[in-house]
Amino acid sequence: MKTTNPREITVVGAGLTGLTAAVLLARSGHKVTVLDRDPQGAPPGNEQAWEHWARPGVSQFRQPHLMLPRWHQQMLSEFPELAAGLPAAGARRVNMLHLQSAAAVGGWQDGDEAFDTLTARRPVLEAALCALLVRGQRRLRIRRGVAVRDLLVERSGTVPRVLGVRTTAGELRSDLVVDAAGRHTRLPRWAAQAGADSAMDSEDSGFIYYGRHFRGRDGRAPQGANPVLSHFPSLSVLTLPCDAGTYCLVLVAGSRDRALRGLRHEPQWLAAVAANPVASRWAAQGDPITPVMPIAGIQDVRRSYVRDGEPTVLGLLPVGDSSAATNPSLGRGAAIGAIQASVLRNVLADGPGMRGSSRWLMSGPAHRPSPRGSRARCASTATGWRKCRPTPTACPTRPRTNRGR
C-alpha cells in the first residue's frame, strides 16, 4: 500500500515490532530512520547470533519467545517471502495444536492449518528478519548505538506536538515518532513532562519465569505429548520448540510463592523438573545450553494518549509492547505488534493527518489488548495454585489440555 503523503518517520527500537513497522512504512513510501541503543547488529550465522549478539537493551533477548499462529499469518500476509526465507534461515515450521498427541486432539481436522507457525530462538529470528526484510530497503536506515534521551516538543498549540527526538548523537527531527521501545519505554514519561495527558493501566503479572534452553540429542525437539502451556497445582510448564533442534523448558510460578523462589538455582530447578511428568520428559531428551534464566517483575500495561476521543499529543504513536503488554506466556506481544504495524502503515497511507492517525490508532480495541483479560486468566491460574501447598515437587499425575487458539 503506497502512501500519497510521504513523511519523515523515526522508529525508536529495532526489535521485532520496530523492524516490522519500519519495513512496512519504508515500503509504503516513507523515509524511515530506526534508532537502537544497542551498538551491535546481527552477526552472520544462527549460532553466532545466539552466542555472540549482545542486546543489553532487550532484557528478554535470550528468554523463550512464543510466536503465535496469528503472528505467522500476519507476517506472511505482509511479507510472502518469509514463507521460504525464514525456514531457510533456520526457523522451524510447527503446528501449535499438533504439538500434542493425535489422541489428545482427535487427529488432523480441516482448519487445523490455522495453528501453523514458525518458531526460533529470539536472536536467530531477529537476525533472519534483518537479513530478509531490512537489507536493500533504500528508504530505511538503522542507526545502532544511538540512544534516545528526550523528545523534541512544540507547545505552541493546545496539544503538544512531537517534532523528533534528542539522542546521544544529536537531534533528529521527523514528522512522526513511532515508539517501539518495548514495555519499559521511557517515551511516555518524557511526553508527560512536555504536557501530554497520558493514561496508563499497569499491574504486576504475578508470575516469575524460570527458563532454560536445551538442544535435543537426536537433533530434534520433543513433540506429540502436551500443549505448549500445561497447568499443575503449584506451577505451570511452558514447552517451546525452537530452531536447529533446540527448545525451551520453562517453569512458571507465582511471584508471591516464596517456597518456589529457589527454582532460580539449578539443583532446585532440576528437582522440580524431575518431579513433573511434562518437564521431565522434555528435559530427558536434550542437554541444557543455558543456565536457569529467571525473569520477574513483568508488568501488564496499557498506555493511551487519547482522552475523550481526542489525542493529548501529536506526532507520537506507540506500537507493540510500548502500547500494551500482557503476560508473556500468552505469547501475544509479537502478534499484536505486527498487527499494529500494519494498521499504522494503512492509516498513514490513507492520509488522515496526525490528529486522525492518533485517534484511530490509540482507540481501536481490536488491535490494543486489555491487560484486564490477561489478569483474569492469570488470577484464575494463581487461585488454582494456592489451593495446593506450593512445593517444588507438587504435581498432578496428568496435565490438563485445552484445544483452542
Amino acid at 65: H
Task: End-to-end CA distance of the chain: give it in Å, rounded.
Answer: 29
For position 349, what pLDDT does the model report?
Answer: 86
Which portions of the chain are predicted below pLDDT 50? Answer: 365-366, 374-377, 379-380, 382-383, 385-405
CA distances from 187 to 164, 165, 308, 316, 365 (A): 12, 10, 22, 9, 22
How much is the pTM? 0.87
Amino acid at 17: T
Q: How many CB atoms lie within 10 A of CB 18?
A: 26
CATH number corresponding to 207-296+382-386: 3.30.70.2450
- Residue recorded with cell 504439538: 99
Where does the chain hold its CATH 3.30.70.2450 domain(s)? 207-296+382-386
For position 272, what pLDDT does the model report?
Answer: 97
For position 50, what pLDDT does the model report?
Answer: 95
The whole-angstrom separation of Cα 45 and Cα 62 is 16
For position 391, what pLDDT does the model report?
Answer: 40
Q: Could you give the count of Cα atoms lying within 13 Å of 303 in the half-sphere of its Cβ? A: 29
Print burial letters for 154-170: b (CB count within 10 Å at least 16), e (below 16).
eeeeebbbbbbbebeee
For position 309, what pLDDT does the model report?
Answer: 83
- Residue recorded with cell 519500519: 22
The whole-angstrom separation of Cα 276 and Cα 239 is 13
For position 327, what pLDDT does the model report?
Answer: 77
Where does the chain hold its CATH 3.50.50.60 domain(s)? 8-145+298-369
For position 57, what pLDDT does the model report?
Answer: 86
75 CB contacts (<8 Å, ≥6 apart)?
A: 20, 82, 338
For position 135, what pLDDT does the model report?
Answer: 83
The whole-angstrom separation of Cα 241 and Cα 333 is 18
For position 397, what pLDDT does the model report?
Answer: 34
Cell numbers representing residue 267 in the block: 539443583
Please state which architecture CATH assigns to domain 8-145+298-369.
Answer: 3-Layer(bba) Sandwich (3.50)
